[in-house]
Amino acid sequence: MADINVEQTLGRLTLEEKASLTAGRDFWHTTPIARLGVPAIRTSDGPNGIRGTQFFNGTPAACLPCGTALGATFDTELIRSVGRLLGQEAKAKGAHILLGPTINIQRAPLGGRGFESFSEDPFLSGSLAGEYCKGVQEEDIMTTPKHFVCNDQEHERLAVNSIVTARALREIYLMPFMLAIRAAKPAAVMTAYNKVNGTHVAEDATMIDILRKEWGWEGLLMSDWYGTYSTSRAIKAGLDLEMPGPTKWRGSALPHAVTSNKIRPHILDDRVRAVLNAVKLASKSGIPEDAEERELNRPEDQKFIRRVAAESIVLLKNENNILPFDKTKSVAVIGPNAKVATISGGGSASLLPYYTITPFDGMKKQCDVHFSQGAYSHKELPLIGPSLRASDGRIGFEFRAYDKPVDHPDRKLLDKLHLTNSYMFVMDYKIPNYTSPLYYVDVEGTFTPEQTGLYDFGLTVQGTGKLFINGTLIVENVHNQKPGAAFFGAGTIEEIGSVELVEGTPYKVTVEFGTAPTAKSSARAAVSFGSGGLRIGCCKRLNPEKAIEDAVKLASEVDQVVVFTGLNAEWESEGSDRAHMDLPPGNDEMITKVLKANPKAAIVIQSGTPVTMPWAENAGAMVQAWYGGNETGNAIADVLFGNINPSGKLPLSFPIRLEDNPAFLNYRSERGRVLYGEDIYVGYRFYEKLQRPTLFPFGHGLSYTTFKLSHLSMTDTASTISVKLQVTNTGARAGAEVIQVYVNARTPSISRAVKELKGFKKVFLEAGEKIMVEIEVDKKYATSFWDEGRDSWIVEKGGYRTLVGTSSQGDFLEANFEVEKTWWWNGL
């Protein structure tokens, strides 16, 4: 891709060409100007893998652990390596800009996209984001920290007004962006969907001036997809690029706004210059325009993803050394997440993985296992695609697109595909020589049940659909459609029909689907994604009492027991927040009864954010395994069997109950607004200030070995605080520990947190080894708070305390230092 001279090109552009450059060409690309040699550059989601240009039938990709899992590593070097792999994956997919990392704050447990973010703590989040961006940028790929700012819930996300104090905005929500920009100077930033204090961020000059004028950031500011709400106001505020294309706001309206002096020509030139600078920077990657997408899936990448996933896993409890398991003995594997590869949350983070490993398969590779289902955890019925067979015997089904519905005598076949994934989000599906968003799809495959019983079939659409078994209508999702959360909130709820099936008998499954324009008015969404989508699920009806009874029986017969439970991409997904913090129905009862039958059972939870655990007191061994990407099952097995000594730490607090969390009274849009009533007291800051107990505190995580911290010393200069201490591995296994440095203002003039994380380092020690560890902390960042009266940061005269430990709770080594004079500062 040729380099360009930005200023020369800018001077040769027509007004209409300038306007076109400020909006996308299509869903993933910027607009090219061929006559001047300005190519289109490609964006792609992120943040835990590079999907490429298609939600529908895309090129397989590497799926890394989710954001919270990466946060749990507390390992800056590892996260930088994650960035490098993502940069290489971006090159394979022909993407110049990675749409990540997500660095919004997990201010409450219910956020639908909470799994995408690193932490509830702004320092941890911003520090890891900076390393992530550096790693990606080392491969000459641009990064896009998002969503600037306070995009911390999914409920009415395009319309909600986030009401937040200036102090909380600065100290909590802007801080991760501030740190990432300071460390890595990312080439792009994405604006949030929501309003902040009354104005959509994409057209808020005051917010955007913080980026450009106060922080001195020079990059491309793009909207989230469909997150632009005006023409003139957004351009004047500083929004360079409207995404996706074709444009809604910057077509003929933008030149008209310039010629009528609603927008001054030099303002438009600033927006265009930012786009051209990004195009010029993209040329360094060596990725050609409209590059072909390809796969990597290298053995070394598989090994690395397995390591990252394992290092993210948090050992929550391990009484009487229940873990690690003995490989020479059999293990009872129980639970709904055992035979399902729960690799990621849903929405923009989802992708088609190269492969997946279930926990059951990971365990089975290392020992003799016995299985019992125990309960289900799905919100919608499991996808039927891999259980179908096409007419030629291959796994999957036939997908045929037509120009007219099934009952039309002159319908024309437009395209035919073989698919295995029955989640078909066709918003970016391109039918050869056909441009209308209206078309009709026939899906056909054969389902042969492994057991006799009652089977549920589910149909979710953005459009209309009917499902038939051997020609008999089982599910109708055409009339009286009800809005649901699927397809980014644009689809219907899942409609379900049931039928008795016989083991070993083949049944013909057929679905007739009409795309989004056929949807009934009650099912239409404010934002419609192209031609919509279709989701087909199926599951044998479970007898809950019998399933738990079988699980309890197995648990009582085997010495080593592991229960795999948790959430999945249906419960945690872009487009909707969770309604509660509980595990799926039946899971708590199953776990309670299994623990009663065998108190040594280990409970493994997969989720991106906390769940309630009413049985926690009775569980001797508990593991938080997050969503681990391609290598989920292998990584969990590595930790359970002790191949890898767990070293993850919780990057967010786990409350006992939903009602205990700081945002409980203020988490959802109410008449178009949400009040950030907890102010700066997010996460552990809240629990410590109120002395409210948590189930597991921020920074908590155990090991199969033990560590001792001692001999703390501190050096205090005008700009830094440096702590040195001795760390000793006092156990019999090699392992890693995260040293955490918190700072406390002893006599602040206003209310402040009890302590705040300001430094951390992960260190590895052999059994019995002693090492000296030094952690340097930026003094002004460690001591400042936002002075609303001066509209600046203040470093306040007085005494401060550093607390060094291995969790936000527990024993600390302490040292004091003084600030001799009060002073204020702005910028970075």
Q: Which residues are catalytic?
A: 224
Secondary structure of 279-319 in the HEC alphabet?
HHHHHHHCCCCCCCCCCCCCHHHHHHHHHHHHHHCEEEEEH
Would you say 83 and 132 are in contact if contact means Cβ atoms under 8 Å apart? yes
DSSP letters along 68-121, please?
HHHHHH--HHHHHHHHHHHHHHHHHTT-SEE---B-----STT-TTGGGS--SS
Distance CA(651)–CA(700), nearest Å, equals 8
CB under 8 Å to 433, separation ≥6 — which residues? none
Which residue type, as a one-letter code, is found at position 377?
A: S
Order of strands, sheet of 673-675, starting from the edge strand that comes earlier in the sequence: 199-200, 195-196, 161-163, 673-675
Distance CA(219)–CA(450), nearest Å, equals 56
Q: What's the residue count for the chain?
A: 828
Would you say 678 and 686 are in contact if contact means Cβ atoms under 8 Å apart? yes
**461: its two tokens:** 């659409």
Query: Please, what is the Cα angle at 622 between 617 and 626, to 5 degrees?
Result: 130
DSSP letters along 633-645, please?
HHHHHHHHTTSS-
For residue 542, how many other CB atoms are within 10 A of its CB?
18
Would you say 807 and 784 are in contact if contact means Cβ atoms under 8 Å apart? no
Q: In this structure, are strands 464-469 and 472-477 parallel, antiparallel, or unpaired?
A: antiparallel
CA 278, 281, 283, 287 torsion: positive or negative? negative
Residue with tokens 């409207």: 242
Nearest Cα neighbor of 796 from 759, 725, 743 is 743
CB under 8 Å to 575, separation ≥6 — which residues? 112, 154, 346, 347, 485, 486, 487, 488, 489
CA 605, 609, 611, 615 torsion: positive or negative? positive
Which residues lie across from 536 on neighbouring strands? 459
Per-residue b or e along 127-154, where b marks 16 or more CB atoms closer than 10 Å to that residue's CB: bbbbbbbbbbbebbbbbbbbbbbbbbbb
Distance CA(696)–CA(698), nearest Å, equals 7
175-184 and 122-137 helices, crossing angle to 10°: 30
Burial class (CB in 10 A: 0-12, 13-18, 19+), 526: exposed
Residue 513, phi then psi, degrees to nearest 5: -125, 135
DSSP letters along 246-264, please?
SPSSSSTHHHHHHHTTSS-
Tell me if the bond preceding 299 is cis, omega within 30° of 0.
no
Which residues lie across from 740 on neighbouring strands? 760, 805
**351: its two tokens:** 């992708």
Instruction: Write the CA distances from 491 to 245, 519, 539, 678, integer angstroms.
Output: 21, 9, 21, 33
Would you say 570 and 379 are in contact if contact means Cβ atoms under 8 Å apart? yes
Which residue type, as a one-letter code, is found at position 319?
A: E
Distance CA(828)–CA(824), nearest Å, equals 12
Residue 314, phi then psi, degrees to nearest 5: -110, 125
Distance CA(657)–CA(316), nearest Å, equals 17
